[in-house]
Structure 1
Amino acid sequence: MRVKLKGLNKVRKKLASGETVEYFYAWKGGPRLPGKRGDPEFMAAYYAAISKKVAPKAGTLQTVINGFQDSSDWDRLAPRTRSDYVRLIKIIEQKFGTFPISALSDRRSRALFMAWRDERAKASRRQADYGWQVLARILSWAHGRGLVPANPCEKGGRLYRGSRAEFIWTEADEQAFLAKAPAHLHLPLILALWTGQRQGDLLALTWPQYDGKTIRLRQSKTGTRVVIPVGAPLRAALEPHRQKVGHVLLNSEGQPWTADGFRSSWRKACGKAGIIGVTFNDLRGTAVTRLALVECTEPEIVTISGHSLRQVRSILDSHYLKRDQKLAESAIRKLERGTEIPNRTSN
């Protein structure tokens, strides 16, 4: 008979070999437990961890943080997002775990939280914003349920203003990469350009998700399901490698990529090809831009990339299209075709 262990957190992870393994933690964000579930070593470690876990004092922010991690809102987060949140929640707990809930209604509490963000910004503005975002989300969840009197982190703005606005892959970049990069990295490039999907989702893509005409996947970050028609160039790249099982993208040893391994190999290949200033992640925005350049509508782009209409509109309006010379040239050609040129020949 299996004993029910309260709070036990199970995490599945796919190894580079393709094997899926299970890891257990005493609770979400807690210590990892050794051995197999039910083994004496496992049980001893579990009870030792639980005994050291001090129950949060009533009326403190820690109770709210714990409640959020036990909520359906937490369960709906993508696995990668939960992992990122756990890391930041640990930082928030150390700083504000004992913060009184009653003090959240004091106007001075906002200044206190902002000072914490400003201090973290000295090391990284982006991480400072992310920490603020997580804290604001937890407080928003709690405020909506009447668990806290106010959310002092609401509408805090951002400190980090960086963007990939001008960083898109040109056709010259694409050709240089295909000419210089190892052959096993060609397919990731073509897949990204013809699907507009994120690196993680493409590395996880398996052959059963491709039926010869479409690629079907569920985006890990948002849970959005997309069905992408496969264009002729992408089909030509896929078919020679097509199998019934296994991952589509493999490293030089024929094994599924790890995220770190792929990033390292991609960076080296870009250096060898003389490609500077653009990353694999920029291929997603490049795909959106190229679809727009051939006059795809925003709803058409959304069905392929999985963005929301608002996100696509933001990309096209603020990030890429205003800087693309081809769009300007296309606009002038259309204007020329639609404008009657008067005959200035004198009699």
Structure 2
Amino acid sequence: MAPPEHIHAISKPNGRRYLYFSKFRWTEREWPRVRILDEPLTEGFARRVGQLARIEAVRSETGSWSWTFRDATEQARDLPLPNDAAAFWSAGDKAEVTGRMLLAGDRKTWRSLIARYKDNDAYEKLSKSMRDQYDRYIRVIEAAWGDDPVRALRAPDIQQILDTAYKRTPQAGRIFRATLSVLFEFGIPRDFCETNPAEHTEKAAKGNPWIPWPAEAFALWFEHARVDMHLPIYSALFTGQRKETVLGMLRPKSDATELQVYAQKIKSWIPTQIHSEYRQLIDAVPIDPDKPQLKLHLMASGQPWSYEGWKTACSESWRSPR
């Protein structure tokens, strides 16, 4: 019996026969071939044959190929290159399931979940730095799965990303996994999903991402950074606090021996002793009697540093050292 259209067999020297899918064979339009891993007369092979008509391959002007799968809603979903046949067909299976779920009316998508999460108090109560951290990976999640149903994402899919995209950056993988977990937990009581698949993936070993600056790093900073950026670094050194906490510090009174520090991460005030050398640095900052400021760390303009302003100034300092 002849194989279905566009499927052909290739015999190897060892006598084994392998099946491949390729359209327009022996013509200038011939597609790269894709190996079919399922054996004939099996349920898996029948599913592959049914998927063939929904697969499209397009060659660019540079000669590279892109592959898509048209799901039941007629949306074209990207497929990986067929070099890894298992990953190729797995992506096709996922696209097929996603399309069926959407066609059935299950439109609890990641884009919808993210919108509801960002409109919730749980997101608003996060510190500025934590929101920035979550947002960075929420953008990745939305770009990858925005229109997919949340419940279509499985633990093996997440683990594959952790094993590949974040293999060399385990700390980033931890944050990506944590962000997914937060969204899943938020989605469960809102009928976006039944479980949290991220909890069933491997958690990367926790390293020590916060390595103290060596002496030469401080020397470079104070040599090249703007003068109005010196005191915040000294404050971080003497208090051990994060930048969002440091930038929010209030100027202590001249006779104060403690600095009341509000730690953003734990939402609590922490009394911190003022070291004698730190006291001298604080007192050296001039006070404008006409424009008194409560904040300790001020820009050259006399206005308090903002979180975004500090980040921008840091980038500019290292791009254009003085």
TM-score (norm 2): 0.50
Higher strand share: 2
Name which one, 1 or 2, has greater alpha-carbon Rg.
2
| Greater relative contact order (CA < 8 Å, ≥ 6 in sequence) | 1
